[in-house]
A and B are shown apart, each in its own frame.
Chain A
């Protein structure tokens, strides 16, 4: 009983955690550069839609995932243009992207409703392990390489980076688009692996959880692995434990944990805090 419970919980945590991990890793890099992107849900759903459409049309789910990454990156480019080049409010732009993605995917997806997918990707698969490897690589780059130093510095003090002759705009564009690509792949995972079919609104709020995980992990890619697994396990257990605990209490569990962890992390600010320039558009020469 207990070993079975632990084993299945780990397997389900890996499955649910995979899209959460990919999307939150992307958000971590975007935010490390100083740009909040609340459009994760929109980028994910566009990825989910395109991955399904491509996988259904060509019979190749891997190609679908690749296209999902591209469309996620393109969607992020819109956010980058509006919030970096035009210096619009990042939160507003991100929310707009979330809505745009949901609406656009809904309209374009009408033709693909109610179709089962024949060729799928196993849900605990290469993407799961690739996600963990990616997290390790991203952590290494962030903390032990010069590009990582530039990325972190851009998020902490863009003026310093600018003074060193590095193009802040370019760094932020690269980080945001990279984040979009990962979010797109995360969405694609949902429609070709996790639940192989297309349904409007199928991301069901996962993008928002991914943003929460980025904060929860203190913008650290390695901690995001644990964050994603933790939320994945919690998600599964909220159904599994219904036999013993009232479902109403279980439903609150992820939210209660989020508040608890935020309260704890808020207490020790050093090293855990958000990038200093997060959410602030950068204007060269302005003080």
Chain B
């Protein structure tokens, strides 16, 4: 009897350990800047973390939320103590803290979102929206009646400035006289600030909205006044079903799964990441156009966009809806037959920023401080 029990226990233990033993365990930790319930940036990263956990065999994940930007290091220490081999830090402000930690833990692998500093054991990654903002801008240009389009911006940093300028280039491609009015809130997540900034834009005559803030506030405020808006990061169309035209959606999981699979297979180690920089856009499926997954343009707005006609140098005369779809197809193709930041582009002061025929490099895009023509409002650190 005793032997029988022992045999049963052995079989059970073997049964539990064998499949696990065949697959190497990999522990990854995530440092978030906001709460996972923000329904914006951090929410999107956390959704991706869960998808990656399902997709990458043997992957185990932990996270810390609402970490102040200057305090990444102690939290990284904690994750390392808990056994994390890969650590993702998901805010621009974590950059220097992550780099310092990467030096202290040469055997751990780090990946930092939206920054530009790398090390042998620290990669960078970004799913960028500038192409999608351009597409949103095309639609906004067609929809504004007052000729004033609004943007509620989080912080005046290159990432947000790039998005506003891409948006403005889109607006002007359809509506050369329109202006893009910007209000800064200096917060990534502050619903009340986003709300009052939107109210201020409405009072100034703005009638179409886009934004960078991690809650659906702008969409809700605009919708209540019957004004169209573009959703940001998470699918926010349901917060204003009649007035969200489109928006920007992210698929961070595409990057996480790719990166972690390569760590798992040994392709990425703590020694060879100095040149690993994910800059994934529409073509890689990391960015998506729409206010709801799988819905690039809200059907309620399709008619209006099909009725608005525009002339383009390369595609001739066509409806704004068709233009959006064609540009999206061009940018979704790996060859990228079109890019919004193709010269000649002058900034709003008239200085040539991109020479004719040239495209901006990823490095230029990551450090751009200038404002595209048509942008109105204060622009800290304007060159």
Interface residues, chain A, CB within 8 Å of chain B? 4-5, 8, 12, 16, 106, 109-110, 113-116, 190, 194-197, 199-202, 204, 206, 235-236, 238-240, 242-243, 246-248, 251
Contacts and interface: CB of A to CB of B under 8 A. Distances in A.
B192 A235 contact: yes
A106 B37 CA distance: 7
B196 A243 contact: no
A13 B376 CA distance: 25
A202 B184 contact: no
20 contacts: A4-B203, A110-B37, A114-B238, A116-B216, A190-B192, A194-B192, A199-B37, A199-B216, A202-B191, A204-B193, A236-B199, A236-B200, A239-B196, A240-B203, A240-B204, A243-B204, A243-B377, A243-B378, A247-B183, A247-B184
Interface of B: 34-39, 43, 66, 183-186, 189-193, 195-197, 199-200, 203-204, 215-217, 220-221, 234-235, 238-240, 376-378, 380
B39 A113 contact: yes
Given A16-B196, A201-B189, A247 B380 contact: yes
Contacts of B184: 242, 247
A14 to B, nearest CB: 12
B198 to A, nearest CB: 9
Nearest to B187: A204
Contacts, number: 100
A16 B190 CA distance: 13
A239 B193 contact: yes
Contact of B215 (A12, A196, A199, A235): A199
A206 B192 contact: yes
Given A8-B203, A247-B378, A247-B380, A239 B220 contact: no
Contact of A200 (B37, B196, B197, B378): B37
B161 to A, nearest CB: 14
Contacts of A235: 192-193, 196
Interface centre among A4, A190, A236 (most CB of B within 10 A): A236
Contacts of A242: 183-184, 200, 377-378
A199 B39 contact: yes
A240 B377 CA distance: 11
A204 B192 contact: yes
Given A201-B35, A239-B183, A246-B378, 7 more contacts: A12-B199, A16-B196, A199-B216, A201-B38, A239-B185, A242-B184, A247-B184
Contact of B38 (A12, A16, A199, A243): A199
A190 B190 CA distance: 13
A199 B39 CA distance: 7
A204 B184 CA distance: 17
Given A16-B196, A199-B38, A239-B185, A116 B238 contact: yes
A17 to B, nearest CB: 12
A251 B380 CA distance: 13
Contacts of B38: 199-201
A220 to B, nearest CB: 25
A196 B186 CA distance: 23
Given A199-B215, A236-B199, A251 B37 contact: no
Contact of A195 (B185, B220, B240, B377): B220
A200 B36 contact: yes
Given A204-B190, A242-B377, A242-B378, A116 B195 contact: no
B239 A116 contact: yes
* Interchain residue pairs A-B with the least CB separation, the first 4: A200-B37, A200-B35, A240-B200, A239-B200
A243 B200 CA distance: 10
Nearest to A120: B224
A115 B196 CA distance: 22
A239 B152 CA distance: 10
A196 B376 CA distance: 30
Nearest to A9: B203
B216 A197 contact: yes
A201 B34 CA distance: 9
A5 B200 CA distance: 9
Given A109-B37, A114-B39, A195 B191 contact: yes
A8 B217 contact: no
Given A239-B196, A240-B200, A202 B377 contact: no
A235 B111 CA distance: 37
A4 B203 CA distance: 8
Nearest to A113: B37
